[in-house]
Amino acid sequence: MPKTVPESKFQEWEGLDRISPVVHQMRCIYREITKDDFGIDGEIEIVISKSTGQGYETTGSIIKFQAKSGKSYIKYDTDKSFSSSVSKDDLELWYNANYSTIFIIYHPPDKKLYWKDVKFYIKATPSVWQSPFHIEFNKSQDEFTPSSYDALRTIAQVSAPRISFQAKEKLYSNLLPVLKVPDVWSSPTKAESDDEIRFGSSNGLPPIFVSAQRLYSFFDLTLPNNLLSNWIDGGDVTREHLLAFWQDNDLKRGYTEMLNQLVRGHLAGCLVEYAEVYRRYYFIREDQHNLEFKHNWLNVRNNRPAPGRITAKHYTYGIDSFWRHLSVALNFKQFGERWFLQVIPRYFFTTDGVLPFDNTKVGSYTTKIKAKEINYHVLNHILFWSDVLSWPGPNPENRTMIIVSLGDLPVMKIEKMPISVIAAFAIPDDPAEYEEPDPSKQLNLMDWFEQDERGEDDD
């Protein structure tokens, strides 16, 4: 006489058959226990990617599982949750076992698998020991899918590989591309040094430097009645060819110093001071009443307003009382024929918002805050200062570019987005994301440079 196969058996097999494909999509090993089980139906061995990116390797870390399938195991079913009956003996076995156990259940109406880390659930649910014994599932949080891999790896206490070659990552630098560089005019001068001209002139001089009895400036020296007219031979003014100009190391150093002078004047219109001794810019204490100052900013990565950032704040630790200011070191760097503005986030400490704090104590307080900052925080510091640099200008609401002017004439353009590269690997669980760029929106930096060399107006 043929044996009868109940309908429930097919549902049970259907549920068990669904577990294996999910585990294999995780690139883990699935083993079903074929002999009579006592609260355990199988095991999952966690597998991780090789550090070389070539294939996978086993870890020896095993998670046991108990699986149930069918309507008879589903209780109190709603759109958002349901519960499944279990025995007290199974709960005690799973809780006292020296291995990790998960409970997987197949929900026929949804045709989905759901799961729970049993030991964690028992510890977090004191009422689990009250009859009738059951385990509750949240349909939006407890679905068993390939994305459950990270949670399983954590349960098995397996660390993620330090580098994944199955993904790419966008790596940002702290270099902002200079898209348009200032021109240089020069003329013979009787001045022996820059300081001689500055001490002998009124305030408001444009960036200058003197080398070998020749005066160099970003200001057009051919213009009559300019602030430098008393120091030059107006009949011998030259507009320098920049590529040749930069070949001379002394002239290149002078050019770099003029760029620094230009940015210093550019930021003078913001709530930013320059600490010359420490060679960094910092946000000032804006009044004598408040103990904290914040500023909103525009994140160039998504072109959206970002939450207010604390720019200066008063702190008291024991007998130490000081102000901590957001600050930055800005340096111009040349690589090949292209220039970049290097943004190095810093902190600046003062006693009252003006006078520098005790140098012997600054180090420990700086280390304390920097120890809490990861790559993501540092990138946001760089993006913040990139936006600060775009504040001065005629259109404060349209800050897509850093425009640096000399008088009313824009002489330098700097891209707000730092240069980046796409790495052929990624750090697992890192928030950095890579998206394929739109070629039609990519800037050709050499086109900008060549236009500037031809003297074309690209404002």
Domain boundaries, the chain: 7-155, 175-182+251-420, 185-239
**Looking at residues 131-152, what average pLDDT do you find?**
92
CATH classification code of 7-155: 3.40.1350.50
Average pLDDT of the residues of the chain = 85
SS (H, E, C) 353-421: CCCECCHHHHHHHHHHHHCCCCHHHHHHHHHHHHHHHCCCCCCCCCCCEEEEEECCEEEEEEECCCCEE
Alpha helix locations (H) across 272-372?
359-370
φ/ψ (deg, to 5) at 11: -65, -40
**Looking at residues 387-414, what average pLDDT do you find?**
83
pLDDT of 174-211, one tens digit each?
A: 999 999 999 999 999 988 898 899 887 776 789 999 99
Strand partners for 420: 172
Higher pLDDT, 360 or 449: 360
Q: How far is CA 319 from CA 315, 322, 361, in A?
A: 11, 10, 12
At 433 the pLDDT is 54
φ/ψ (deg, to 5) at 278: -95, -5
Q: How far is CA 207 from the centre of its chain?
A: 34
Q: Tell whether the model's pLDDT for residue 451 goes beyond 70.
A: no
Q: Tell whether the model's pLDDT for residue 423 goes beyond 90.
A: no
Q: Place 340 in a pLDDT band, splitting at 50, 70 and 90.
A: very high
Contact at 8 Å (CB) between 298 and 416?
no
At 438 the pLDDT is 52
Q: d(Cα 406, Cα 413) in Å, to the nearest integer? A: 12
Q: Place 372 in a pLDDT band, splitting at 50, 70 and 90.
A: confident
Contact at 8 Å (CB) between 132 and 44?
no
Percent with pLDDT over 90 in the chain: 52
Which DSSP helix (H) or strand (E) runs through 451? helix 445-454
How big is the chain, counted in residues? 459
Q: Place 434 in a pLDDT band, splitting at 50, 70 and 90.
A: low
**Looking at residues 7-18, what average pLDDT do you find?**
67
At 444 the pLDDT is 44
At 36 the pLDDT is 56
At 49 the pLDDT is 80
Contact at 8 Å (CB) between 271 and 264?
no
Q: d(Cα 249, Cα 244) in Å, to the nearest integer? A: 11
At 126 the pLDDT is 86
